[in-house]
Structure 1
Amino acid sequence: MTTRSPRVHRAWFIAAAAFVALLAAAGFRAAPGVLIDPLHEEFGWSRATIGTAVSVNLVLYGLFSPFAAALMERFGVRRVAATALFVVALGAGGTVFMDATWQLILCWGVLVGVGTGSMAMSFAATIAARWFVRSRGTVTGVLTAAGATGQLIFLPVVAALAVSDGWRTASLVIAIAALAVIPVVLLVIRDRPEDVGTTAYGADPDAPAAAAPAGRTAGRALSVLRSAARQKTFWLLAVGFAICGATTNGLVSTHFIPAAHDHGMPQTTAASLLALVGLFDVVGTIASGWLTDRVDPRLLLGAYYALRGISLALLPQLLSGSVQPSMWAFIIFYGLDWVATVPPTVALCVRQFGDSGPIVFGWVFAFHQLGAAFAAFGAGAVRDHFGDYAVAWYVAAGLALIASVASISVTRSGKRAVVPVT
């Protein structure tokens, strides 16, 4: 007698719960731009001081990602995700009681940085790698898009609450939202398919279950880095993703509004255009995931970066006091391309590094954030020195073309590079 398999595989419920968790984690990442002015007005803190907390947040968001992936191997995805959401809630709620800048850095920078870093792209990569063989790229795209979707949902809510009820109410709403998702994570998410007597979606039912790596969490993350760093593939992916961060979060996200304002465009108009980038980002990332399941991810990355470079080279000619059709075209394209690079990058990490792929991707993502931090500073220095951003756009265009070449240069072999567990 055979047992009839369920119509909907358990993996899809896991992915849905992960999507909801990522939505909540994205909430506080939508807050900085809205809360900077209220904090400045109430406490008199300089924007540079508030920006320090944001910088700490960004660095920890990137650097904690590989360690979070190792924590998921050691303690399980469910426990780490639930703990991360609690830490986000603690950081968001703790800001309500702060009256000193060190408390801002602790709550907004350290706690929220570590919490959201634990729920960053390595979390999505781990869920996709463990629970999906078929449709892995699509799922990675959907989970990656959850960050953009979360910001689209929370940003207008946080802004409205900050204006009508004050920034403390906005922070409490984010904290409550993060806490509300914890039961969903604990009840639905399971660490591995074999924990519930099934296999990954699309996997061979007779395939042996992968053994969970043992060892110290920090040691595991660092040993994976040491081994991966000996291979050219890792550095090609890391360089490409560093340039990805530089040309998105570091340059466009940080400097597009002041650059447009330099050309006479109202800041509110420029901000609305940037919000549209986030909207098209959702579509582009999901589509990229679908393509990753069907097209060589090296070629996808090469195309994404090359087209991004061309668009950045054209941007100085598109900026003006009003929004022309050419600017609409740039916004739509850049939105579609914004994090479309994530699904093929995750696919290459898993293909090349096997079960260590999520941790390797965590380190690659750390380079993404370092590239973003460098570009955020560098573009500002360019503006101060030359009086406009033109050089920054052209340099970024050249870097994007380098990323395109690096991506195509990744070995085509599907053989997994063995990363020893220590």
Structure 2
Amino acid sequence: MRSGPLTAAPGLRGGGQPRSRHGRWIVAALAVTQTTGYGVLYYAFSVFLVPMARDLHASSTQIAAALTLSILIAAICALPAGRWLDAHGGRGLMTAGSLLGAAAVLAWSQVTSLWQLYAVFAAIGVACSMVLYEAAFAVIIAWYGGDTRGRANGILALTIVAGFASSIFIPLTGLLVEVYGWRHALLVLGLAYGLVAVPLHALFIRRRPAASRTPEAAGERADLVKAAVRRRPFWLLVLAFTASGGAVATIAVLLVTYLIHLGHPPVLAATLAGLLGVLSVTGRLLTTGLQTRLPAALIAAVIFALQGVAALLLPVFGSMVAGAIGCVLLFGLGFGIASITLPHLLVDRYGTAAYATLSGRIAVFSVADKALAPLGAVALAQAVGYTWVMGAVAAACTAAALALVAYHRV
């Protein structure tokens, strides 16, 4: 049986203003900026990999290391970004992050050496910690406060729209590269991101109330965070979402290669991998609907366990088209549920006052694992084969499921 929730002072627990019509405008604005942000700052990179490697006279591995660096920098910056969001709100941070992200993409278009590319992606990593999901969720949670339904619907709407970022921006970027070349394509994307994200963040996101910015409020948030991180439930969340994030990132990176290794044509492999984005939306809708009837931790635990089963079955049945489709469908249902389950669990136990700080502490681990796990998986595949990689993915999913079951019980 879980213990009672940690609580902040009465003036802090709500963390924001009641649900209102403006809340829907906030969600709509963030849906646009998240879709554009993920599309430009993350997903477009895959399209630029080959032309950049050719023009910079570098290997694909050297170019890909820039994205890994960006993700690691975002993980390091997650904690200070979370503290700022809890104290000041998202307007200043997300507006500045949008400016930094747009400027970094424009600078990316001018790089002529690897060190310049890495410097640009370090800046992109900082920008990502300021403008992507963790920050957007903190804004929504602070605005809706204790309105559980409004908060859940806002996060669901945001993630459904942003879930199509790759489907929109990968082909769009490919078209821009084909027509204008990769450097001019980046100029277009950088300008577009700045023109979209900067005004939307500046105009629609509100600052935190003055009471949240006092030294007393900061002290109460610090006490709440200290109490949380000294207890077992918080670290069970860290384990669950770090293990799950690494497993999902590994499948996202290696699925096409592994399906081709199993004997499927490249077009079919890419098509099946593309289902993951669509299925992530399905999984989010299913999870949100079930949360009204069942504990969120147990719902996620079951879905993580099913992902582990899918990873184990893929080496056995994946050489057949029907088997590959079934395994991808089963794994894909859990592809996006972490992003909506973690905010629910954090707010349910700890309230909204220190949400962004606690979320940032978890992101330090989970985001870093998303960057490093695929690299380890590639090394493992080269050493002992893909079957062992799928076994490791299954083990990570199982660990995530067991951690959430334990979390539900304390």
Band the TM-score falls in, shorter-chain normalisation: 0.7 to 0.9
Distance 1:263 1:288, change over 3 A: same
Amino acid at match of 2:172: V
Deviations 1:390-418 (A, max 9, x none): 011112212211211110111567xxxxx
Q: Residue 384 of structure 1 aligns with which residue? A: 382
What's 2:157 paired with?
142
The alpha-carbon deviation at position 161 of structure 1 amounts to 1.3
Match of 2:125 among 99, 107, 113: 113
Contact 1:225/1:363 (<8 A) preserved? no
How many residue pairs are counted as aligned between the two chains?
386
Aligned partner of 1:198 in structure 2 is: none
Aligned to 1:334: 331
- Aligned to 1:371, which of 351, 369, 372? 369
**Aligned partners of 1:326, 1:138: CA distance in 2, in Å?**
34
Displacement after TM superposition at 1:226 (Å): 4.9
Write the distance in 1 (CA, Å) between the matches of 2:325 and 2:220: 46
Aligned to 1:261: 260
CA distance 1:214–1:8, shift in 2 (3 Å): closer
1:229-272 deviation digits (Å, cap 9, x = unpaired): 211111100001111111111x1111112212212223343222
Inter-CA distance 293–140: structure 2 relative to 1 (3 Å threshold):
farther
Ranked by relative contact order (alpha carbons within 8 Å, sequence separation 6 or more), the top structure is 2
CA distance in 2 between partners of 1:221 and 1:254 (Å): 38
Q: Which residue of 2 aligns with 1:417?
A: none
Deviation per residue, 1:107-151 (Å, 9 max, x gap): 1x2121111222233223212321221322232233234443222
Distance 1:356 1:189 in 2: 18
Q: Deviations over 1:291-340 (max 9, x none)?
A: 335431111121121111111111112322xx622322333333331021
Shift of 1:21: 1.4
Residue 336 of structure 2 aligns to a residue in which SS? Answer: coil
Helix, strand or coil at the partner of 1:64: helix
Residue 154 of structure 1: aligned partner: 169
Identity over aligned residues, as a percent? Answer: 24
Correspondence for 1:201 = none
Quickly say closer, same or farther: Cα 1:232–1:37, change in 2 above 3 A: same
1:164 to 165, 168, 179: 179
Q: Which residue of 1 aligns with 2:3?
A: none
Matched residue, 1:314: 313
User: Structure 1 residues 293 and 189, CA, compared in 2 at 3 Å: closer, same or farther?
Assistant: farther
Q: Tell me, yes or no, if the aligned pair for 2:303 and 2:333 is still in contact at 8 Å.
A: no
> How far off its partner does 1:228 sit?
3.2
Aligned partners of 1:298 and 1:407 also within 8 Å: yes
Q: 1:169 to 1:294 in 2, by over 3 A?
A: farther
Match for residue 230 of structure 1? 230
The corresponding residue for 2:9 is: none
What's the offset of the Cα at 1:214?
Answer: 4.3
TM-score by length of 1: 0.84
User: Counterpart of 2:194?
Assistant: 179
Matches within 5 A, 1:328-367: 328-354=325-351, 355-367=353-365
Q: Aligned-pair RMSD on alpha carbons?
A: 2.7
Residues 238 and 364, structure 1, Cα contact 8 Å, conserved in 2: yes
The amino acid of 2:39's aligned partner reads G
Structure having the higher helix fraction is 2
Aligned counterparts of 2:396 and 2:58: Cα–Cα separation in 1: 36
Asked if 1 retains the 8 angstrom alpha-carbon contact of 2:297 and 2:341, the reply is yes
Q: Which of 308, 321, 329 is the equivalent residue of 1:324?
A: 321
What is residue 205 of structure 2 aligned with on the other side? 189
Question: How far apart are the structure 1 equivalents of 2:312 and 2:214?
Answer: 48
Q: TM-score, normalised by structure 2?
A: 0.86
1:97–1:283: structure 2 CA closer, same or farther, 3 Å change rule? same
**Closer, same or farther: CA 76–313 of 1 in aligned 2, 3 Å:** same
CA contact (8 A) 1:26 1:148 kept: no
Contact 2:244–2:396 (Cα < 8 Å) also in 1: no
4+ aligned runs moved over 4 Å, structure 1: 213-216, 218-227
**Whole-Å separation in 1 of the counterparts to 2:194 and 2:75:** 23
Q: Counterpart amino acid of 1:187?
A: L
